[in-house]
Amino acid sequence: KFNGRQLEPKMNAHVLCVAGSEDRVHQAKGAAVAFQILGWDSVYLGNVEREIDPFFDIDFQRYVSRIWANKRGMMLVCVFSSSESSLKFLTSVTSSMKGRLKGELRIAAMTSAELEPVAEEHADHFPKDLQSLLEWSERQYSSLAT
């Protein structure tokens, strides 16, 4: 456990980091902490790979709607997965929420190059590493803030 000092809080910058496979949990946790330090309203959901069932899409959408119900600005869902099924499921379910939230929803999928085509239809960005994810997210946030 450690304490990270947050930079100046960013107004209307929200991120949800979710792992879709066990081997990507540390990346998702690290990203959530990095976003928090950069001033984002950051939430780490955990590894949901074993939770995915026919009703999980409803639960996931309810959760996202609840935490971001009245928020505006940029809403970023970062999916970290090396599992084809959970990657496809999470990006698809998240994409279906575009237009139903008050803010601008973006989806970043951190996965292997082989699995990028699985989520290509739904994800807005495929970062190769945490640094490129943070840089892209900051650019997206800046473009919405201006």
CATH code of the domain covering residue 88: 3.40.50.280
Inside any domain, residue 51: yes
**Parent domain of 73:** 15-145
- What is the per-residue pLDDT for 3? 62
Total number of domains in the chain: 1
Inside any domain, residue 9: no
Walk along the chain (146 residues) in steps of 10 and give the mean pLDDT of each run.
69 96 97 96 94 87 90 95 94 92 94 92 95 97 84
Residue 40 near residue 13, CB atoms below 8 Å: yes
Inside any domain, residue 111: yes
Inside any domain, residue 41: yes
The H or E element that residue 100 is part of is: none
The DSSP bridge pattern shows strands 74-80 and 13-19 to be parallel
